[in-house]
Amino acid sequence: MSTQAEFNYNRVAKAIEFIRSNFQEQPSLNEIAASIHLSPYHFQRLFTEWAGVSPKKFMQYISVEYAKKLLKERQVTLLEAAMETGFSGTGRLHDLFVSIEGMTPGEYKNGGESLEINYSFAESPFGKLIVASTQKGICHMSFIDDGQKAFDDLKLRFPNATYRQFLDKHQQDGLAIFQNDWSKQEQIKLHLNGTPFQLKVWETLLKIPSGSLSVYGEIAQKIERPKASRAVGSAIGKNPVAFLIPCHRVIQSSGKIGGYMWGNTRKSAIIGWEAAQMASTE
C-alpha cells in the first residue's frame, strides 16, 4: 500500500469512528465528510473506493440493528452447509483455506529457543501489519502503529527464538487474503502456541463465515462448554493472529460491537468491509 493509500485508510478510519460515535443521529454525508475535512463529493468517492459501498450503506452494516438481524437469522445457509462439507464453491469463505497446528511443548520450550522465526511488515486495508512465521506456518499477525514496538512485542512471545526479517511463503499466503481473490488462494497454515482450550476456540472462530457474526455464548455451545462464555472471551482476547482467525466476528449478544485487541474502530471497519464484500458477490 502506498503512503497515499495509507493516508486514505486513516481518513476512512476517522470517518468510521465518527459514524460509530454519532450513529443514533444518523449523520448526513455532509456531516461525515466535514468531520474529516473533505468535500462530500471527494469523501463519497474515497469511502466507496475503500469499502466498495456508500457511507450510508456502510453505516447500516455496522449498526446494532443490522447486527441483531444477523444474529437472529443464524440458520444454516446453503453456503454455510457447503463450507462445512468442504465444497470448493465457497471459495470466497476463507475458513476453508486456514488450518491450525498447535506447537508442541518441545517447540515452545524455554521461550521457543528451537524456533526460527521469519517476520515482515505489510499493509492491509485496515492499516499496517507485522506477520511472523515458523517453518510450519504463521505464528503471529498483528495490526501495528510502530514497527519497532511490534517487533519487541513479538520477541516477548518467543524470547529465545532466532529471528530473521524475511517475507516467506507462509506469510505471502496469509497476506493474499486481503486481495479478496480466492481463485488462486493457497492453503494458509498457522502454527500457534496455545492451550488445548484456546486452540479449540480459535478453530471454532474459523467456522464463522465471512460477513456473519456470532456471540460468546454460541462459541461456548459449539465447543460443548456452555457455561464457559467468560473463558471463551478470554481465549478470543488472546488470539495471536489478527484477521485470519476472525475474532472480529464475535460481538455482544446485544448487537453491540464489543471490545477488540486492535481497536473498536478497526473492528467496525472489518465487519462493515466484510459485509460489503459479501454483498458484492451476491
H-state helical runs in 23-63:
29-35, 40-51, 55-61
Q: Which residue in 21, 16, 55 sits closest to 36, CA to CA?
A: 16
Catalytic annotation present for 247: yes
Annotated active-site residue in 206, 247, 250, 270: 247
117 strand-pairing partners: 163
Contacts by 64-67, CB closer than 8 A, 24 or more apart: 64/23, 64/254, 64/255, 64/256, 65/255, 66/275, 67/213, 67/251, 67/255, 67/256, 67/257
Identify whether the C-beta of residue 183 lies closer than 8 Å to the C-beta of residue 91. Answer: yes
Q: Which residue from 17, 9, 91, 14 is spatially nearest to 50, judged by alpha carbons?
A: 9
Beta bridge partner(s), residue 101? 191
Residue 81's closest CA among 99, 96, 66? 96
Q: C-alpha angle with apex 5: 96 to 245, nearest 5 degrees?
A: 25
How far apart CA 50 and CA 165 sit, in angstroms, is 29
Residues with Cβ within 8 Å of 229's Cβ and at least 6 positions away in sequence, in order, are 216, 217, 219, 220
Cell 463519497: give the residue. 44
Q: Which residues are catalytic?
A: 247
